[in-house]
A and B are shown apart, each in its own frame.
Chain A
Amino acid sequence: MGRRLTGYWFTAPAVALMVLILIAPVIVAGFLSLTDYSLGNESANWVGFKNYDKIINRSTYQKMFSASIIYVLVVVPASVALGLGAALLINSLKFAQDFYKTIFFLPVMAALLAMAIVWEFALHHSIGIVNEFFESGCGTIAETIFSFGWIPFVDGAETWYGRHCAAGEFPLWLRDKGYALGTICFIGIWQAFGFNMVLYLAGLTGIPRELLQAAEMDGAKSGWERFRLVIWPMLGPTTVFVVTITSIRSFQVFDTVEALTQGGPSKSTYVMMYAIYEKAIKQNLMGIGAAITIVFLAFVLIITFIQRYLVERRVHYS
């Protein structure tokens, strides 16, 4: 009896901290999400599930979900694939491995907010380096190549590059409804894949050489075969981890949106984190902000459960 109590005493500090720092705020948020509390007010009214009803039915929040989900669906596969590709390429190098590792890892280390300002300049509609680069290609061999007019049945003047060259205008990358989310996704991939690359490099060092040699002896002669039969399965646990982490981080995207588009144009980049910030911090509407937070936590929880399920199914071959 006394012994059992001692055990509780030892875990008590950790449990108390967990309740105080993690669980209590979530409960408070859950409670707030059922009210119309606005910061600075003395009291709030109980509104039941009205906030959640808004989240489900309002077009603004539908745009929020679609922006968040598109972002995750684009950034996760692209940054995982690029991370894996970069890791495999670097791993196959005889020299300069550290050089490439450093270069690809730089965007991860750089403060994203500072980088966002660099992107803002680069993507400026008239003085930005991106549009200047495109413009300088117009009328030269670059236009011929990148308007894809050389491919049979493709009319060079009708393709993206051809049309923009003819108009003499390139898009407002961050202010055009059709491009803004794509641009934010691109920056997200640029930022995330270096991190995935490092995780994959760590995963690759864990694959025993003997396995590869054995596969070669058994007739897996080509690099692709060895990748398909040995490397990819052995990277299973790493992949589950990488995908989970990238998904959660992509759901949490905030700094690029805040710095570059503020959720616009026309709510096309209105991701969940930004919506929480806009409602709760910028407009002081704690009730609706808390409700979005709860929905957000539910999403993260679902991803975590999927990861646990996959891990328990033993993706690992040990």
Chain B
Amino acid sequence: MKRTLTAVALLAAATAAQAQDKVTIEFAYPYSHLFDVTYEKILPKFKEQYPHIDVQMRAAYEGYEDGTNTILREAVSGNLPDVTMQGLNRQAILVEKGIAKSLEPFIAKEADFAKEGYHEAMLELGTFDSKVHGLPFSVSLPVGYYNMDLMKKAGITEYPKTWKDVVSACKTMRANGVSNPMFWGWNITGNWFLQAMMWSQNEPTVKGNKVNIDGDAGLTAFNTMHTLFRECEMKNLEWKEALSSFATGEIGMMFWSTSALGAVERAQGDFTLKTGPFPGIEGKPMGLPAGGNSAMLVSTSDDPKELEAAWLWLKFITSGEGAAEVARTTGYMPPNKAANEIILKDFYDQNPNKMTAVTQLPLLREWQAYPGDNGLAITQVIYDGIERIVVGDADDMEEFREELFEEVQELMPANGS
């Protein structure tokens, strides 16, 4: 009897000790349809290396806007997670408001941080006030998705190089009985493709406190969209509908982020899918905005053990095997040299569709944020504006540009503030 009691006591002590060593960190990420598979792969690997850290996944954010918003709200109500994944253009606001913590103290403690494969240009995307706040996790670029069967049916053998080529391809396809030839991803977070059209002409969308759409570049961007939507008779599909319609083989050409490649391939029907470079306005685009997200530390904990655990998780998913899983499961590129060049050496040879974005990397430009409190509202205004072109509400592009410029500019912070 006595012996059993001792055993029980010992056992209890042991579990208590174990429980003490166990650290739980909370984590949240956007776009579950893209990333669920990724984290399912990463988590067991992390667990193997750090069995004492328990990563709890919070409900996924619907998109980047929702993610930023949720963090802002949680900061007010005081239930922030420890690590959050944020859109590359939404990091600034969290740094400004003091919610995201600087990662410098952790980086300083790492003996050979540079060897992990983070290189300057990539870290740049998450650096504010010359302090690293976010570690990029996945980077994407816009590409063209082509249903080769439908293209062949219409007698098209070459990828369109400019938007004019796309329009003529649309017409040939429609003439050959493809009723839904093209979908253009204007609705990706509302403004990413607008920035793509601007960078294509080597123009930023935001210049200081001014939105740069009032010039010729803006007009060209809107005119190109107008021609594309009207001439191709593009349907106003919701993005999930568009992805599923393309995956079932209904749509001939889809211009979208490379990020969805993994999801589309998993759902793909019986047709040959190829990706090609993003068309330009006259010839090759001069630049394209980087999409994607980065990991930020937003923990409010004072416990050094918990912070350490959060850092280990952050580092694990953005380097080495963790980062390599991003490329394997999605269409994103891991912004980590080591993962790209060593672990994934053969991967891109075997997956040429995922290679398209990598070849476009020299065009990579910043995904610009809209300054001030109205950042999310501006995104919505641009979304609503472009939707007006899509549904045929706006036909005079000069007038449209004027209206949109005024409406956005008014939401930008006043000069000097």
Return the CB mask of A262-293 against B: 1 if under 8 Å, else 0. 00111100000000001101111100000000
Residues in B neighbouring A39, C-beta threshold 8 A = 72-73, 76
Q: Report yes or no: B235 in contact with A125, Cβ–Cβ below 8 A.
A: yes
User: Which of B66, B179, B237, B374 has a CB less than 8 Å from the CB of A172?
Assistant: B237
Comparing B36-44, B267-275, B335-343, B380-388, the segment that makes contact with chain A is B380-388
Q: Report yes or no: B377 in contact with A285, Cβ–Cβ below 8 A.
A: yes
B398 at the interface (CB under 8 A from A): no
A164 at the interface (CB under 8 A from B): no
Q: Report yes or no: B73 in contact with A265, Cβ–Cβ below 8 A.
A: no
Assembly CA distance A114 to B76 (angstroms): 30
Assembly CA distance A284 to B378 (angstroms): 12
Assembly CA distance A284 to B374 (angstroms): 9
Q: Which residue of A lies closest to B383 (CB)?
A: A264
Name the interface size band of chain A.
20 to 34
Q: Report yes or no: B374 in contact with A285, Cβ–Cβ below 8 A.
A: yes
Q: Report yes or no: B236 in contact with A175, Cβ–Cβ below 8 A.
A: yes
Residues in A neighbouring B390, C-beta threshold 8 A = 265
Q: Which residue of A lies closest to B73 (CB)?
A: A39
User: Shortest CB–CB separation between residue B222 and chain A, in angstroms?
Assistant: 15
Q: Which of A's residues lie within 8 Å of B, judged by CB?
A: 36, 38-41, 60, 124-126, 168-169, 172, 174-177, 264-267, 278-279, 281-285
CB pairs A–B below 8 angstroms (18 shown): A41-B97, A172-B236, A174-B238, A264-B384, A265-B390, A265-B391, A266-B384, A266-B391, A267-B384, A278-B380, A281-B73, A282-B65, A282-B376, A283-B374, A283-B376, A283-B377, A284-B69, A284-B376
Assembly CA distance A276 to B273 (angstroms): 42
User: Shortest CB–CB separation between residue A46 and chain B, in angstroms?
Assistant: 15
B250 at the interface (CB under 8 A from A): yes
A-B pair number, CB within 8 angstroms: 71
Q: Which residue of A lies closest to B388 (CB)?
A: A266
B241 at the interface (CB under 8 A from A): yes
Number of B residues near A (Cβ < 8 Å) is: 29
Residues 49-80 (chain B) with a chain A CB within 8 angstroms: 65-66, 69, 72-73, 75-76
User: Which of A40, A126, A176, A279 has a CB less than 8 Å from the CB of B75?
Assistant: A40
Q: Which residue of B lies closest to A267 (CB)?
A: B384
User: Shortest CB–CB separation between residue A283 and chain B, in angstroms?
Assistant: 4
B245 at the interface (CB under 8 A from A): yes
User: Which of B97, B235, B373 has a CB less than 8 Å from the CB of A285?
Assistant: B373
Q: Report yes or no: A176 in contact with B376, Cβ–Cβ below 8 A.
A: no
Q: Report yes or no: B72 in contact with A172, Cβ–Cβ below 8 A.
A: no
User: Shortest CB–CB separation between residue B413 and chain A, in angstroms?
Assistant: 11
B216 at the interface (CB under 8 A from A): no
